[in-house]
Amino acid sequence: MWGFSRSGRFAGGGSDTPGPGSYDPKRRDELGWHADPKSAFLGGERGLDTSLGSEPELLEEVRKPERASKKPEPKQVPHEGRKFSWATERIHQLLASLDEEKHKHQTVLEEKDREIAAISSKAADQQTAIDRLQQQLEGATDEGYILSAQIAEKDVEIQKLKEALQDLQKVSQQQSDQIAKLSRELEATSEEKYSAINNNWKLKEQIEAERAAAESQFEESQGVLKAKCDELDRLALELNSTIAKLSQRTTERDTLDSRLQETELKLRDALRHASSAEEARDCNAAEIEAMIHEKCGLVDRCNELQTQLDLTSEERRLFELQTRDLESQLVRQAEQSKRDQDLSNGRIDELLDQHKALMEAKQAADSTGDDLQRQLDDMTKANSESIARIADLQQQLGAVTLAKDAAEANKSELQVELGALSRAKTELEDAVAGMQDQLGGMAEAKEAADAKGAETLLQLQRAVEAKEQLDLKLADLQQELDVMASAKEEAHANRADLQKELELMTDEKVAAQARGADLEQRLDAMTQEKTAAE
């Protein structure tokens, strides 16, 4: 016998359990038969094969569905109008309530997830704003430190410039002291030169006095010479040798005069050179113009002295001519008056000595003037260098002053920027304080949200616990369903066994009917035989 699960109606394995909709009493099979469980053993191929036999006409009539006279049945909606057992209905109700609870919990979870995501995004935005403000604060603090370092560097540079300015002022003071010292030395040198010139004047006056005395003596002796001219004429021949000696001496004096003239020319060239140098210095050193004017006065004075010396030289030349005449006259009268001649020669020697002393004094004055000129040139050069140095120092001082002004302006700008940065820092600190307050509020809100989230989490945990309880209940129900399914399978198995037993009983009944028919036939035959026998 076939099992229940392997029949044509319930195809599948023995462990498969028909679910809702699989067993539909209103469904027709492929041959048009209703699926009636009471007559299931007669349906399908088994019933056709076993009970209808193999006649083609009967098979054709059985397989032909009688649908021509029936209306088409409306399409049935699943589970509509069906009648299920209490277990199937309970399973449907539990599944529907489970789906509803799942949907509710899923909706609550999605809403809580959205709230948590919104709170997290808001907290992340607020943290980003806090980080940005903190970075701005750090940047402003770094800029303040950089500006403070720049201000400190500017202060150091200003201090260095002040020290350099003090050094330059000290150098300028030293230069001023040196210039004052040079001025005092120039004044002392000028006084010495004036004293030398005064001495020369005094010497000249003394020479002029002596010359006047000599001229007076010459006039006195001229009368004597006129008386003795005749005697000198006679002595002319004897004085030729003396004249030769005198001519030799005259030649020597001419040589000395030429040297003196060369010296005078050199002195004039030197004076002209000094004058040109002084004019050049007048163009380059305006600050020492007063000293140069004084020197020009001194040079003019020297020129006057030179002119006077030239006049003295001319007078000396005339005097020498007169002396020569006097010497000739003295030679002519030498034989007449030796004592007068000796006196005259002594006077001439004395005059020559005086002239020599005068020339030496002149050379000393010239050397003193050259020394003074060199000193004046050195002082002028030093003064020019001092003036140039002072100009450089003034330029450096101006540059230092400009740098100091620029540093002060930059310092003021930096102070303004620092004040602005301080204000910005204060505003930023206020903003940070406000943000911290906001953060406090946000923290409180976050705590509230955390509390709410915790509450939601508790609710979720409770929901999860409820879900677990539902799962446990579902598991219990599933176990019950499994038990019921196993019981149903057992019932199906028992039913199959009963069907098998029913089939056996049916077969036995058929066999018994056949035997009864045989017995009836036999009984009829026996009755007929008995009747026939009677």
Q: How far apart are CA 41 and CA 31, in angstroms?
A: 15
Q: How far apart are CA 413 and CA 407, in angstroms?
A: 9
For 105, 450, 461, 462, the CA distances from 455, given in Å and listed in that order, are 15, 8, 9, 10
Q: How far apart are CA 528 and CA 534, in angstroms?
A: 10
Count of CA atoms in the C-beta half-sphere (13 A) of 359: 15
Q: Which residues touch 165 (CB under 8 Å, ≥6 apart)?
A: 397, 400, 404
What number is the average pLDDT over the span 85-96?
Answer: 84
Does the pLDDT at position 97 exceed 80?
yes
pLDDT one-digit tens code per residue, 257-315 = 676 677 667 767 766 776 665 565 555 556 556 655 655 665 566 666 666 666 666 76
For 11, 196, 489, 508, the CA distances from 493, given in Å and listed in that order, are 15, 167, 6, 21
Whole-model pTM above 0.75?
Answer: no
Q: How far apart are CA 391 and CA 243, in angstroms?
A: 70
Q: Which of the pair, 15 or 195, is modelled with greater confidence?
A: 195
Q: What is the predicted pLDDT for the residue at 120? A: 82
Q: What is the predicted pLDDT for the residue at 103? A: 92
Q: How far apart are CA 379 and CA 189, in angstroms?
A: 11
For 167, 171, 401, 428, 442, the CA distances from 174, given in Å and listed in that order, are 10, 5, 21, 56, 74
- On average, the pLDDT of the chain sits at 67
Does the pLDDT at position 31 exceed 70?
yes
Q: What is the predicted pLDDT for the residue at 100? A: 92
pLDDT one-digit tens code per residue, 159-197 = 777 787 778 778 767 777 877 777 677 777 767 767 777
Residue 446's Cβ-count burial label (10 Å; 0-12, 13-18, 19+) is middle
Does the pLDDT at position 9 exceed 60?
no
For 76, 256, 264, 390, 421, the CA distances from 72, given in Å and listed in that order, are 12, 177, 168, 133, 93
- Dihedral angle over CA of 516, 518, 522, 528, nearest 10: 90
pLDDT one-digit tens code per residue, 220-257 = 766 766 666 666 566 657 666 666 666 666 676 677 66
Written in H, E and C, the secondary structure of 433-486 is HHHHHHHHHHHHHHHHHHHHHHHHHHHHHHHHHHHHHHHHHHHHHHHHHHHHHH
DSSP 78: T
Residue given tokens 């026939």 in the structure block:
532
